[in-house]
């Protein structure tokens, strides 16, 4: 199950991503927003992120105008590693090296086709583990303790 969310600016692109997920036979849950009425991205980004952090959804995709605000919102939730991407290379490496569990897109940045390409790449790429595992674990330590205790 993929958690989806957007603000009003990301709504149209979110519908495109829903179509893509349906084409791929993947299930999703939409945490809003559901209309073009102006709204606040932290409300929706955090709702999708909580579902991922709690394990109700395996991964999440969130969308606002730039992808920045909604990615920051998602990253405030413990256990979330959300990457904002405007090209597939970072999407791919964010899975291979950082084990990102959420992807943020900017509807004012990436067009429909590019956004689809980014999502497909991000969904299909596994975490490489190995030497990257320790670094991802260090992120969790930083989240918990604000320090790695090495300084």
- What are the residue numbers of the active site? 64, 97
Among 17, 33, 59, 65, binds ligand RB5 (CB under 6 A): 65
What lies within 8 Å, CB to CB, of 133 at 6+ separation is none
- Residues 25, 106, 77: CA angle, nearest 5 degrees: 80
Residue 71 or residue 124: which is nearer to ligand RB5 going by CB?
A: 71
Query: Minimal CA–CA distance to 84: which of 123, 118, 135, 120?
Result: 118
Taking contact as CB under 6 A, which single stretch among the options 58-66, 78-86, 91-99, 124-132 is the one that binds ligand RB5?
58-66
Stretch that binds ligand RB5, among 43-51, 63-71, 90-98, 131-139 (CB under 6 A): 63-71
Q: What is the distance between the alpha carbons of residues 2 and 28, in angstroms, rounded to a whole number? A: 4
Structure tokens at 148: 């790695």
User: Can residue 68 be called a binding residue for ligand RB5 (CB under 6 A)?
Assistant: yes
Kindly state the smallest distance separating residue 84's Cβ from ligand RB5, in Å. Answer: 9
Backbone angles phi, psi at 72, to 5 degrees: -65, -40
Our finding on whether 31 is near ligand RB5 (CB under 6 A) is no
Using CB under 6 A as the binding rule, whether residue 41 contacts ligand RB5 is answered as yes
Q: Does 9 bind ligand RB5 (CB under 6 A)?
A: yes
- The least distance separating ligand RB5 from the CB of residue 66, rounded to whole angstroms, comes to 4
Q: How far is the CB of 112 from ligand RB5 (least distance, A)?
A: 17
CB 29 within 8 A of CB 3: yes
60 contact partners, CB below 8 Å, separation of at least 6 = 2, 3, 4, 5, 48, 49, 51, 52, 74, 80, 82, 101, 102, 103
Report the interface residues with ligand RB5, using CB under 6 A: 7, 9, 41, 64-66, 68-69
């Amino acid at each position: 199950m993929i958690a989806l969310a957007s603000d009003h600016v990301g709504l149209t692109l979110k519908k495109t991503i829903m179509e893509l997920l349906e084409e791929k036979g993947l299930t999703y849950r939409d945490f809003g927003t559901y209309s073009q009425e102006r709204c606040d991205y932290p409300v929706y980004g955090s709702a999708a992120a909580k579902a991922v952090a709690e394990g109700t959804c395996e991964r999440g995709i969130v969308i606002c105008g730039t992808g920045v605000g909604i990615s920051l919102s998602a990253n405030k939730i413990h256990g979330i590693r959300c990457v904002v991407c405007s090209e597939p290379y970072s999407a791919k490496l964010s899975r291979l090296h950082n084990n990102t569990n959420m992807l943020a897109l900017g509807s004012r940045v990436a067009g429909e086709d590019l956004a689809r390409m980014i999502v497909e790449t991000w969904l299909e790429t596994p975490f490489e583990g190995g030497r990257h595992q320790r670094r991802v674990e260090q992120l969790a330590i930083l989240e918990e303790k604000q320090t790695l205790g090495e300084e």
